Amino acid sequence: MRRALPALAAALALALGTAALAGRPALARAAVAPIGPPPVDGPALYEAACASCHGFDGRGVHDQGPSLLGAGARAADFYLRTGRMPLANPHDAPVRTPPQFTDAQIRALTAYVASLGGPAAPPIPRVDPAAGTLAAGRSAFTDHCAGCHQVLARGGIVTGAIAPPLREATPTEIAEAVRIGPYLMPRFTTRQIDQSTLNSIVRYVEWAAHRPSNAGGWGIGNIGPIPEGMVAWLIGIAALLIVIRLIGERSPQ
Amino acid sequence: MSARRDGTPPPGAETVRFIDERVGASPLLKQAMRYVFPDHWSFMLGEIALYAFVVLIGTGTFLALFFQSSTEETTYHGSYAPLLGARTSIAYASAVRLSLDVPAGLLMRQTHHWAALVFVAAITVHLMRVFFTGAFRKPRDLNWAVGVTMLMLSVLEGFFGYSLPDDLLSGMGLAIAYGVAMSVPVIGGNLAFLFWGGEYPGVHELASRMLILHVWILPAAIGTLIAVHLAQVMRQHHSQFPGPGRTERNVVGTPLWPAYALRSLGLLLAVAAVLFLLGGLVQINPIWQYGPYEPWLSTNGAQPDWYLGWLIGGLRIMPPLEIRFWGRTWIPNPFWGGAFFPLVVFGTLYAIPWLDRRLTRDHGRHELLDRPRDNPQRTALGMGFFAWVAFVFFGGSADRVLIRFGFPYEAQIWVARFAIFVVPVVVYLVTLRICRELRRSEQHPLRGWSGRRVRRTESGAFATVAPSEEDRAGP
Amino acid sequence: MSPWRVIVAAVLLALRGGRRGAAPPPPVDPRERELPGRGEHARRAELLTAALLALGGLAGIGFFVVYLLGPGHLTQWLGLALGLALALLAAALIVAGKAVVPQEVAVEERAQLVDEQAEREVAELAAAGAEGVTRRRLLAGAAGVAGVGVGAALVTPIASLGPNVSQRIDETPWRRGVRVVDERGRAILADDVVQGTFVTGFPEGASLRDLASPIVIVRLPPATIHLPRGRDPATWAPEGLLAYSKICTHAGCAIGLYRYPSFRPTQPRPALVCPCHYSTFDPARGAAVIFGPAGRPLPQLPLAIDPATRELRANGGYSGSIGPAWLNVDRGSA
Q: Where are the domains of chain A?
A: 32-119, 125-213
**Residue C102 one-letter amino acid:** P
Give SS3 for A50.
Answer: coil
Check if B106 contacts C (Cβ < 8 Å): yes
* Residue B205 confidence (pLDDT): 87
Number of alpha helices (DSSP H) and beta strands (DSSP E) in chain C: 6, 14
Contacts of A154 (CB under 8 A, 6+ apart): A165, A209, A221, A222, A223, B301
Output the pLDDT for position A22: 46
Please list every residue in chain A whose beta carbon sits closer than 8 Å to the beta carbon of residue B415.
Answer: 15-16, 19
Q: How confident is the model at residue B8, as a pLDDT?
A: 81
H-helix or E-strand containing A110? helix A103-116
Count the residues in chain B: 475
**Interface contact A253-C75, CB threshold 8 A:** no
Residues of A in contact with C255 (CB under 8 A): 147
Helical pair C75-95 and B105-132, crossing angle rounded to 10 deg: 40
For residue A121, what pLDDT is reported?
Answer: 87
Angle at B8 between CA B5 and CA B12, to 5 degrees: 115
Q: What is A125-213's CATH superfamily?
A: Cytochrome c-like domain (1.10.760.10)
d(CA A83, CA A99): 4
What chain C residue is nearest to A190 in terms of C-alpha separation? C192
Measured between beta carbons, the chain A residues lying within 8 angstroms of B36 are none
pLDDT for res C159? 82
Q: Does the beta-carbon distance from C93 to B263 stay under 8 Å?
A: yes
Whether the CB of A6 is below 8 Å from some CB of chain B: the reply is no
Question: Among A157, A159, A185, which would you mutate to test the B interface (most chain B Cβ atoms within 10 Å of its Cβ)?
Answer: A157
Phi, psi of B467 (to 5 degrees): -65, 140
- The residue of chain A with its CA nearest to that of B80 is A213
* Superfamily (CATH H level) for C180-314: Rieske [2Fe-2S] iron-sulphur domain (2.102.10.10)
Q: Which residues pair with C108 in a beta bridge?
A: B251
User: Within 10 A of A194 (CB to CB), how many other CB atoms are there?
Assistant: 13
Q: Which candidate, C206, C242, C210, places its Cα nearest to that of C319? A: C242
Q: What is the spatial distance between Cα C31 and Cα B257, in angstroms, rounded to a whole number? A: 16
> What's the rounded Cα separation, in Å, for the pair A35 and C7?
54
The Cα B221–Cα C243 span in angstroms is 47
Q: What are the CA-CA distances from residue C239 to residues C135, C182, C262, C282, C303 (Å)?
A: 83, 20, 20, 18, 10
Residue C122 CB contacts under 8 Å (≥ 6 apart), including other chains: none
Q: How far is B468 from chain C (nearest CA, A)?
A: 22
List CB contacts (< 8 A) between B399 and chain C.
278
Residues of A with Cβ-Cβ distance to C197 under 8 angstroms: 181, 186-189, 192
Q: How far apart are alpha carbons B124 and B116 in whole angstroms?
A: 12
Do A32-119 and A125-213 show the same overall fold?
A: yes
Neighbouring subunits of C (3+ Cβ pairs under 8 A): A, B
Q: What is the pLDDT of residues B92-127, one digit of tens each?
A: 999 999 999 998 999 999 999 999 999 999 999 999
Contact A6 C256 (CB under 8 A): no
A7 touches chain C (CB under 8 A): no
Contacts of B89 in chain C (CB under 8 A): none
Task: Give CA–CA dist B50/B220, Å, rounded.
Answer: 14
Q: For chain C, state the CA radius of gyration.
A: 37
Q: Hey, of B50, B124, B298, B300, which one would you mutate to test binding to chain A, going by the most A CBs within 10 A of its CB?
A: B300
Tell me which residues of chain C have a C-beta less than 8 Å from any C-beta of chain A.
2-4, 25, 28, 73, 75-76, 79, 90, 94, 97-98, 105, 183, 189, 191-192, 194, 196-200, 254-263, 265-268, 271, 273, 275, 278, 280, 291-292
In chain A, which residues have their Cβ closer than 8 Å to the Cβ of B240? 252
Are B51 and B267 in contact, with CB atoms under 8 Å apart? yes
Find the angle CA(A91)-CA(A94)-CA(A97) to the nearest 5 degrees. Answer: 135
Cis geometry, peptide bond prior to residue C30 (ω within 30 degrees of 0)? no
The answer on pLDDT for A186 being more than 50 is yes
CA distance C246 to B296: 7
Backbone angles phi, psi at C271, to 5 degrees: -155, 145
Do the Cβ atoms of A248 and B242 come within 8 Å?
no
What b-and-e string marks burial along B276-298, b requiring 16 or more CB atoms within 10 Å of the CB? bbbbbbbbbbbbbbbbbbbbbbb
Residues of B whose CB is below 8 A from C214: 295-296
CA B319 centroid distance within chain: 28
Selecting from C4, C97, C291 the residue whose C-beta is nearest the C-beta of A159 gives C291
Q: Taking CA atoms, what residue in B is nearest to C110?
A: B250
Select the residue from C115, C255, C276 to test the B interface by mutation, using most B Cβ atoms within 10 A.
Answer: C276
Order across the sheet with C106-109: list the strands: B36-37, B250-255, C106-109
Beta carbons within 10 angstroms of residue A57's beta carbon: 11
Q: What is the pLDDT of residue B309?
A: 95
- Rounded to a whole number of angstroms, the distance from the CA of C139 to the nearest CA of chain B is 32
Please tell me which of the candidates B83, B290, B298 has its beta carbon nearest to residue A135.
B83
Query: Are residues A217 and C79, on separate chains, in Cβ contact within 8 Å?
Result: yes
Q: What is the mean pLDDT of chain A?
A: 86
Do C27 and B194 make contact, defined as CB atoms within 8 angstroms?
no
Per-position pLDDT tens, chain B of length 475: 445 566 788 888 888 889 889 998 888 888 889 899 998 999 999 999 999 999 999 999 999 999 999 999 999 999 899 999 999 999 999 999 999 999 899 999 999 999 999 999 999 999 999 999 999 999 999 999 999 999 999 999 999 999 999 999 999 999 999 999 999 998 999 999 999 988 888 888 899 999 999 999 999 999 999 999 999 999 999 999 998 888 888 899 999 988 999 999 999 999 999 999 999 999 999 999 999 999 999 999 999 999 999 999 999 999 999 999 998 899 999 999 999 999 999 999 999 999 999 999 999 999 999 999 999 999 999 999 999 999 999 999 999 999 989 899 999 999 999 999 999 999 999 999 999 999 988 888 776 677 788 889 888 888 888 766 655 554 4
Measured between beta carbons, the chain C residues lying within 8 angstroms of B299 are 256, 275
Handedness of CA B172, B174, B175, B176 (dihedral sign): positive
How many A-C residue pairs are in contact by the CB < 8 A criterion? 102
State whether residue A157 is helix, strand or coil.
strand
CA-wise closest residue to A152 among B402, B288, B173: B288
Interface probe, candidates B117, B284, B436, chain A, greatest A C-beta count within 10 A: B284
- Assign residue A65 a region: left if phi > 0, alpha if psi is -120 to 50, beta otherwise? beta
Residues in chain C with CB shorter than 8 Å from the CB of A246 are 94
Q: Which residues, given as ranges, of chain C have pLDDT below 50?
A: 18, 20-23, 25, 332-334
Three-state helix/strand/coil letters over chain B? CCCCCCCCCCCCHHHHHHHHHHHCCHHHHHHHHHCEECCEHHHHHHHHHHHHHHHHHHHHHHHHCCCCCCCCEEECCCCCHHHCCCEEEHHHHHHHHHHHCCCCHHHHHHHHHHHHHHHHHHHHHHHHHHHHCCCCCCCCHHHHHHHHHHHHHHHHHHHHHHHCCCEHHHHHHHHHHHHHHHCCCCCHHHHHHHHHCCCCCCCCHHHHHHHHHHHHHHHHHHHHHHHHHHHHHHHHCCCECCCCCCCCCEEEEEEHHHHHHHHHHHHHHHHHHHHHHHHHHECCCCHHHHCECCCCCCCCCCCCCHHHHHHHHHHHHCCCCCEEECCEEEECCHHHHHHHHHHHHHHHHHHHHHHHHHHHCCCCCCCECCCHHHCHHHHHHHHHHHHHHHHHHHHCCHHHHHHHHCCCHHHHHHHHHHHHHHHHHHHHHHHHHHHHHHHHHHHCCCCCCCCCEEEECCCCCEEEECCCHHHHCCC
Touching B: C residues 311-330, CB under 8 Å: 323-330
Characterize C314-323 residue by residue with b for buried, 16 or more Cβ atoms within 10 angstroms of its Cβ, and e for exposed.
bbbbbbbbbb
3-class SS at C253?
coil
Instruction: Check pLDDT > 60 for residue A34.
Output: no
**Widest CA span in chain B:** 100
Domain ranges of chain C: 3-160, 180-314
CB-CB contact of C95 with C45 (8 Å): yes
Tell me the CATH number for domain A32-119.
Answer: 1.10.760.10
Q: Does A246 touch chain C if contact means CB atoms closer than 8 Å?
A: yes
* Contact at CB, A187 and C278, closer than 8 angstroms: no
Pick from A62, A180, A186: which is nearest to C198 by CB? A186
Q: Using alpha carbons, list the distances in angstroms from residue A135 to A152, A203, B174, C166.
A: 13, 10, 25, 41
Identify the bridge partners of residue B162 per DSSP, sorted by sequence position: none
Those residues whose C-beta lies under 8 Å from the C-beta of residue B326, and which sit 6 or more positions away, are none
pTM for the structure as a whole: 0.89
